[in-house]
Structure 1
Amino acid sequence: MTEARVIPLHADDAGARRRWRLGGPQNGGPAPEPEPEPAVEAEPEPGAEWDELIEFAKRRLGGDYTVDDFGFDRELTDNVLLPALRPLYRSWFRVETIGMHNVPGEGGALVVANHSGTVPIDSLMTAVALHDDHPDHRHLRLLGADLMFRLPGIGTLARKGGATLACTPDAERLMSSGELVGVWPEGFKGIGKPFHDRYKLQRFGRGGFVSAALRTGVPIIPCAIVGAEEIYPKIGDIRPLARLFGAPYFPVTPLFPWFGPLGMIPLPSKWYIEFGTPIPTDTIGAAEADDPMTVFNLTDQVRETIQHTLYRLLSQRRNAFTG
């Protein structure tokens, strides 16, 4: 039985991207070289896609792929997981991103976002946004609750997609290795809140994400997500069933459980994801990570920034489903 090779974080990918610089006499630069005639792309041969699929399957079955120390499988994520989410991102929720330039193209950073929607689809859509809409196609390493990793199948896919347990040591190790890490500090209080409390941020825990950012000196990027609250409007909670399944809540929505499996289809709300101005932590110092007042003040700053951004986006939105 073959096993996937495990590679350390940030082994050489040899994937440098070519960058083009605009210039010309009007900008004091050299005259631009004549542009070559655009190459005519050859039509793919019939069956080429199937050949690629077969080769992909052979590599997977033969264990000819790599994962990092946390189980992140880049090839599977790029070729299977992200493509499976793109129809939701582009056609169903029609996600628009704002402020993508605030997310660094390389190096560690911490994306902190509001959590909502009854089911944590917002974290997945944020991951697609940062990979597809960022010029450097960054992978977001999600920090998830332990419940997610206890679910059969789901936990394994989450690991392969780059997620790991929301604990300080893992977060610090990822950010120190130059990874882009995502955290949703509201946790289940955020995604499970009633619909009448939509877009009202819950408490941000004890600020563990701030301490991790301070120790590693990475910037904190506030992220506001509008649209996720409307996909499964939670109007009730069947607590006996929640206890039976070991879940934090068992939601009741206008369509679920009344319409059975059809009630599990998310409503096609219009989404906006805005990445705010990074909050630097390297000027504060790692020593302040153990100071409760510093951590509290910075946590409150991040929370207030996200809340104000949510209010602004909501004031500009005319309709939850048309934008």
Structure 2
Amino acid sequence: MTSEQSTAAERAARNGHVPPPVDPAVTDEPHDIWDHRVAAGLAFLRRRLSGQYEVDEFGFDAELADQVFHPVLRVLYRDWFRTEVFGIDNLPLKGAGLVVGNHSGTLALDALMLAAALHDKHPEHRHLRLLGADLVFRMPVLSELARKAGSTVACNPDAERLLGTGELVGVFPEGFKGVGKLYADRYKLQRFGRGGFVSAALRTGTPIIPAAIVGAEEIYPMLADIKPLARLLKLPYFPVTPTFPWLGPLGIVPLPSKWLIEFCPPIPTEHLVDHADDPLVVFNLADQVRETIQQTLHELLERRPDPFGR
């Protein structure tokens, strides 16, 4: 077994599933590599069809995420958006962490790109367990896919359970206010709600890692929001962009903006565990996180003078 195959096997074991055994006779010849990939693919399908795979209490399917979701997302974050990632060392190697990011882009691709980039760049290839809006989990097919990818409803009980078991959890406190803002307000953080994410971190003594994402604002520049149509369709907003609805389904293709993601130094909370219900402490900490992200966004924008450059 080559060192590359060994690393893949170790990673698979960490993610809770065991890959098919590698024949010692397999070499680095192209036909041998393809034979191994076909065998691995058939073994994967056999496990799926026979039900020989595991999901956790939230419905997260680690094998499906590694074998299907992340390879698809990798094409977007690496090749289409040409994403650069900074500050990966600020994430814990093991144990819990609450990653708090800015939200934007009309469609919430920033959450998926953050999860994909973190998984690929982290030394332990950790999964980011995203907290999503209720709307996501009211849609039959999307709800099932979101849960299998590791997401759950954005509520304190679920967040605290995940953090209590040592997971990396991702939250976007701006919610639809951030995703649905006009292009004229790009990179201006919206209000952070009631600071529920801070309370969850405080109760579990989990460090908070602010994350700044530049690039999502340009993928679907929202020029207008048709509010009557949004109310009719029971949506938080109905966007008008340079390509949607004019180009129909083609308007869903994101523009190839250049992305920069930075994980900021963690903010410890262990010393504040007894203050989880103190509104002043919660507000001040939420404000500190918000200011950190806003300042980092300004710095990243200076590094990226051309939104669509290399």
Instruction: Please list the CA deviations of residues 151-200 of structure 1 after superposition, one character each: whole Å capped at 9, or x if unmatched.
Output: 12111000000000000010001001000000000000000000000000
Percent sequence identity is 63
* Structure possessing the higher radius of gyration over alpha carbons: 1
- Whether 1:135 aligns to 2:156 is no
> Which residues of structure 2 form unaligned runs of 5+?
1-11, 16-25
Which residue in 2 is equivalent to 1:109? 97
Q: Secondary structure in 2 aligned to 1:205?
A: coil
Instruction: Please list the CA deviations of residues 254-291 of structure 1 after superposition, one character each: whole Å capped at 9, or x if unmatched.
Output: 1110111111110000000000000000022x220000
Which residue in 2 is equivalent to 1:244? 232
Return the match for 2:174 from 177, 186, 195.
186
Relative to 1, partners in 2 of residues 1:78 and 1:14: Cα closer, same or farther, differing over 3 Å? closer
Instruction: Please list the CA deviations of residues 288-317 of structure 1 after superposition, one character each: whole Å capped at 9, or x if unmatched.
Output: 000000000000000000000001111222
Higher helix share: 2
Return the match for 1:207 from 192, 195, 203.
195
Q: Secondary structure in 1 aligned to 2:192?
A: coil
Residues in 2 aligned to 1:316 and 1:60: alpha-carbon distance in whole angstroms: 44
Give the residue type in structure 1 aligned to 2:236.
P
Which residue in 2 is equivalent to 1:313? 300
Residues in 2 aligned to 1:254 and 1:64: alpha-carbon distance in whole angstroms: 46
Give the residue type in structure 1 aligned to 2:293.
I
Residues in 1 aligned to 2:112 and 2:254: alpha-carbon distance in whole angstroms: 14
Which residue in 2 is equivalent to 1:26? none
Which residue in 2 is equivalent to 1:25? none
- The 8 Å contact of residues 91 and 263 in structure 2, kept in 1 or not, is answered as yes
- Whether 1:290 aligns to 2:269 is no
Return the match for 1:160 from 116, 124, 148.
148
Which residue in 1 is equivalent to 2:256? 268
- The 8 Å contact of residues 27 and 33 in structure 2, kept in 1 or not, is answered as no
Q: Secondary structure in 2 aligned to 1:311?
A: helix
Q: Secondary structure in 2 aligned to 1:290?
A: coil
Give the structure-2-normalised TM-score: 0.90
Which residue in 2 is equivalent to 1:20? none
Return the match for 2:62 from 60, 74, 78.
74
Relative to 1, partners in 2 of residues 1:46 and 1:148: Cα closer, same or farther, differing over 3 Å? closer
Which residue in 2 is equivalent to 1:228? 216
Give the residue type in structure 2 aligned to 1:306.
I
Residues in 2 aligned to 1:159 and 1:87: alpha-carbon distance in whole angstroms: 21
Residues in 1 aligned to 2:13 and 2:222: alpha-carbon distance in whole angstroms: 47
- Whether 1:53 aligns to 2:41 is yes
Q: Secondary structure in 2 aligned to 1:211?
A: helix
Residues in 2 aligned to 1:158 and 1:267: alpha-carbon distance in whole angstroms: 23
Give the residue type in structure 1 aligned to 2:294.
Q
The alignment yields a C-alpha RMSD, in angstroms, of 1.6
- Whether 1:123 aligns to 2:116 is no
